Amino acid sequence: MSKFNWKRLGLIAGLSLSLVAAGCGDAEEETDTAENTGTDEGTEESASVDGAELELAYVEWETEVASTHVIGKVLEDLGYDVELTPLDNAVMWEAVATSEADGMVAAWMPGTHAAQYEEYGDQVVDLGENLEGAAIGMVVPEYMDVNSIADLTDEADMTVTGIDPGAGVVAAAERAVEEYDNLDGWEVETSSSGAMATALGQAYENEEEIVITGWSPHWKFQKYDLKYLEDPEGSFGEAEVIKTMVREGLEEDAPEAYQVLDNFYWEPAEMEEVMVAILDGEDPEDAAAAWVEENPDRVAEWTEGVE
């Protein structure tokens, strides 16, 4: 499997273009290598884990930072050499679809990543939900006297503070601005997840009005007293789930990793524990490692069937 062609995309230069170099020697060298490294047929299964490289892509949302680092740690503990690569939404999907990344646990369905799924869905393997109970919508502090998108008039300077351009929740907010007559003159201001969180924190501290594009699970619902605005027009669609997608051929190439990714499922409260730890200053790798150590029963469910 080739590593993601970062130079082609102009994202990161100088990375290797290959995960493994195979078939480089003559027949005698190949025989010696098999004898010395144990990659002959009799030990193929164990060698497929010990030091085998895996690349997981993710979008840099707090939810996906948490989940990707946790499952990456579990795979690392099984002996895999795991690389975690943050990417833009569309590029993440393309990476898995073209087998330039092995998988991701960051597919928000059916709404947020609908466009990406339509483009790449038939080129990836859908392993199902790894988290249920997710939601997207317009979110405001509880102290604001508004409970529905239809109630909005001129709050927050008639601005919805969004995240990354092209994100599904931003597209849904832009759709809401078009569909709700009372939002005539409103605009959706795009930024980033971090910038949105900063703006929310500043507004909340001063009890100022703010309307954001929100999703859960997310640490902001633990830190602040927030509420989703009702969406009578259905602009934000139905409830969301987060799914695991892997490249075609992963089950044959790395059956143990495939099994773990297929087993991966946890609850929003568990994800939020990791997100809050990261918010409090822990490095994502350290937060993930601590959670894995403290939750052996859950991890055992994910590694069931893996020797």
Q: Is the pLDDT of residue 8 over 50?
A: no
Query: Residue ranges per domain, the chain?
Result: 50-133+240-302, 134-228
Q: Is the pLDDT of residue 40 over 80?
A: no
Distance, CA of 244 to CA of 127 (rounded, Å): 5
pLDDT in tens, 146-156: 999 999 999 99
Long-range contacts of 145-149 (CB under 8 A, 24+ apart): 146/229, 147/227, 147/229, 147/230, 148/229, 148/230, 148/231, 148/232, 149/176, 149/180, 149/183, 149/229, 149/230, 149/231, 149/232, 149/233, 149/235
Fold of 134-228: D-Maltodextrin-Binding Protein; domain 2 (3.40.190)
Domain 50-133+240-302 annotated CATH 3.40.190.10: yes
CA atoms within 13 A on the CB side of 300: 4
pLDDT in tens, 165-192: 988 899 999 999 999 999 999 999 999 9
Q: Where are the beta strands (DSSP E) in the chain?
A: 53-58, 81-86, 103-109, 124-141, 159-161, 187-189, 211-216, 226-228, 240-247
Residue 48: predicted pLDDT: 53
Q: Which amino acid is at 94?
A: E
Assigned token pair, 55: 């690349």
For residue 3, the SS3 value is coil
Residue 50: predicted pLDDT: 77
pTM for the structure as a whole: 0.73
Asked if domains 50-133+240-302 and 134-228 share a fold, the reply is yes
CA atoms within 13 A on the CB side of 169: 27
* CA angle, residues 128, 134, 137, in degrees to nearest 5: 135
Q: Is the pLDDT of residue 260 over 80?
A: yes
Distance, CA of 267 to CA of 130 (rounded, Å): 8
Place of tokens 């997840």: 193
Assigned token pair, 82: 């795991």
pLDDT: which is higher, 48 or 6: 48
